Amino acid sequence: MSFIGNLAAASGAKAIGKYNASVAYEEALYERKKAAVKQKVYETVEKPRLLDQQDQQFSNFFVQSLRSGAEMREGTTPMFVAIKNKQLQSFDVAIADYNSKVAVTDMINQSLLIQARGRGEEFKGKMTANTEYMKAAGSLLTMGSKSQQAGRLVII
């Protein structure tokens, strides 16, 4: 009668595998949504704030340069400093864009790994179920063989 326990174990293994896969899928979906939110926040809040802050800093620099009495002409030190400031600000924006893309890509990759783990859990459940089915079949065959030898039903 151990075949009944094997069949129950197979059913349980399948159910657990399917449940673990669904949990992993939901977790992966959550990670992808977090990545989309992070990207949207960067594009609508953080980057515009950074650009506004840079505009304000450059305006302050420009006004301070004019107050010093230096002329902002081509080939002069104030112009070179202004160009260098703009170059550094552009570089800061490029770094912020890169960091945002890397963070979002990392979150998406994490979601894919979680989803793969879920498929692995489902596969593990199916493999365990198949093992239990084989045990059940073996138990039935053994019971049948012993019953035939004994000439009566032998329940193992």
From residue 121, how far is each of 5, 11, 22, 107, 109 by CA, in Å? 22, 15, 10, 21, 18
Closest CA to 107 of 31, 12, 38: 31
- Spatial separation of the C-alpha atoms in residues 54 and 8, rounded to whole Å: 66
Q: Domain spans of the chain?
A: 2-150
**pLDDT tens-digit map of 88-141:** 999 999 999 999 999 999 999 999 999 999 999 999 999 999 898 888 888 878
- Kindly report the pTM of this predicted structure: 0.72
**Phi, psi for 72 (deg, rounded to 5):** -95, 80
pLDDT digits (tens, 9 = 90+) for 72-87: 888 888 899 999 999 9
